[in-house]
Structures are given as C-alpha cells and as structure tokens.
Amino acid sequence: MIFDAPYAVSDAQVAAYQRDGHILLDDVLPAQHIEPYHQAIVQTVARRNTETRALKDRDTYGMAFLQTANLWEHSAVVKEYVMARRFAGIAARLLNVRRVRLYHDQALFKEAGGGLTPWHQDQHYWPLATDKTITMWMTLANIHAEMGTLRFASGSHAEGYLGDIPISDESEAQLRAFVQERGFTLQQAETMRAGSATFHSGWTLHSAPPNVSDSLRPAMTVIYYADGALVGELDNKNRVGDRNRWLPGTQPGELAATHLNPALG
C-alpha cells in the first residue's frame, strides 16, 4: 500500500528544511492514488463544515479558508490518509527525530474569491513545549499561485515565538512589517501538482494571497510533533482551546500523548 511505502528524503533536503523552516516535496502522494482520498476529504468536509455565510459576510479569518478539523474521526478513508506512515516518516526525517505523534488534521479549502490568509505562526495555537513541530500542507488538485499557494518567510522559524498574535488583520499588518524589517527571503510556489506538499515548522511565518481564480483550492494538512514532547504553557486563549480539543485531560509539563495523538512512523 502506498501509505506504507517510504518516501526518500535526501540529506540536502533535510538541511534545506532546517535552514529555511519549510520545503516543497513533489509526489508525496503520487497522482494515481489521490482521487479516492480527495473525494473522501471533500465529502467529509461537506458533512462537517458549519460555515454557511457568504464570503462578503465573514471577517478576514473567515474569508481565508473553510477550515474543518480532525476529519479522520469521521471517515475511515480519511483516517488511512492521516495515519499514513509515509507522511509521518517525512515529518520525522525533516525534524531529525525517531518518530512523531499526530496533533491533528485540518482541511483548508480556499474558495474561489476567498481572501488572503494573513501572516501568522501556526504554533501560536499549539500548547506544545517543543520546537519539533511540523505541518504537511498537501494540495489535492493542480493549483497555481493565483489560487493561494503558501508564501513563506525563509529562516523566520529561528525567531521562535513572536507573541500572542492570532490570525487577523492585526497579524497581517504587524507580521508583514516584521518580515519586511528583517529582510527575510520570501518563497512561494508558482504551481503545485496534486499530491505535492509543503512541510513547514510551527514557527515559520507564512501567509497566502487571495484565490482570484474561479476554482476551489483544496488543501489538506496534517500536523505532527516529536514523540516525547510535553504539554506547554496555556498562555493564550487559543492554546487553552487547543489543549481542550487536541490534548484532552492533560496539564502543562505532562507528556503530550492522548488517544487523539497516536505515535506514527
């Protein structure tokens, strides 16, 4: 089965990831295997997504994407995808750890006409006391930059936590200014084939432009962290909410491992 087949990550690719805080890899899920998982993800999002407002009636965060999480709990087919040893093996190799645990999955569908995704750090939301965190962001269709491929500030992960700055108009202004001030090199894929994926650190600053095409941008993400990591401080309301949802019953300083966080790879 494809999900048990390892994906070869070279030493040079590991070094590039460690330097830049992000990397684009092709054929993470080869094209001939995508369709059943694409359909299962789309169908599960359709059942689980609760956003019914028109784009014009949403705030900046709401216009950025349709966000539906932990699809694996609601579809056996999506569970195969999320638990794939192939994907987890890439994450562990890039992080230089023996194995990783699942934090959660998340479909991020940027609708036609959808707005920008403001600059942010993912790990603002995660109560994890480790720098060994990583997100796989896979496109399920062939896409191009005008649909909203991710834009990364290379090397920004080395700055660590930049503070309580959730995704918002304020984060866009504040962190865009920070990126410009520090002179980070910006990298954005002009095109991505279905089944290709970016992997980025929880601290890497990133954003995405609006989707000015007439097509949906279907992206599926899986977030991992190093096995053995501890629960971090609950020092903002989003981390409290994340702890309650993704690390239920745990306290800061305890092992970050619950029934929702299986070890993978």
Domains and CATH numbers, the chain: 11-258 (2.60.120.620)
pLDDT tens-digit series, residues 68-80: 999 999 999 999 9
**Residue 64 above 70 pLDDT?**
no
Q: Is residue 202 within 8 Å of 21, Cβ to Cβ?
A: no
Give 22's pLDDT tier (boundaries 50, 70, 90): very high
Q: Is residue 44 within 8 Å of 75, Cβ to Cβ?
A: yes
Q: How far apart are the C-alpha atoms of 182 and 178, rounded to whole Å?
A: 6
**Which is it for strands 100-110 and 151-153: parallel, antiparallel or unpaired?**
unpaired
Q: What is the share, in percent, of the chain residues with pLDDT greater than 70?
A: 99
pLDDT tens-digit series, residues 121-152: 999 999 999 999 999 999 999 999 999 999 99
Query: For residue 128, what pLDDT is reported?
Result: 98
**Residue 63 above 70 pLDDT?**
no
Query: For residue 52, what pLDDT is reported?
Result: 79
Q: Provide the 10 A C-beta neighbour count for residue 169.
A: 12
Q: Which of 47-51, 166-170, 183-187 has the lowest mean pLDDT?
A: 47-51
Q: Which amino acid is at 102?
A: L
Query: For residue 60, what pLDDT is reported?
Result: 75
Mean pLDDT, residues 110-123:
94
Strands of the chain, DSSP E? 22-25, 66-69, 100-110, 117-120, 133-139, 143-144, 151-153, 186-188, 191-192, 197-201, 206-208, 217-226, 263-264
Query: What is the Cβ-side half-sphere exposure of residue 215, based on CA atoms within 13 angstroms?
Result: 12
Q: What is the mean pLDDT of the chain?
A: 95
pTM across the whole model: 0.95
Q: Which residues contact 70 (CB under 8 A, 6 or more apart)?
A: 104, 105, 106, 260
Q: How far apart are the C-alpha atoms of 101 and 239, rounded to whole Å?
A: 18
Q: How far apart are the C-alpha atoms of 232 and 242, rounded to whole Å?
A: 11
Mean pLDDT, residues 2-30:
97
Query: For residue 18, what pLDDT is reported?
Result: 98
Residue 149 phi/psi, 5° resolution? -70, 155
Distance of CA 10 to the CA centre of its chain: 22
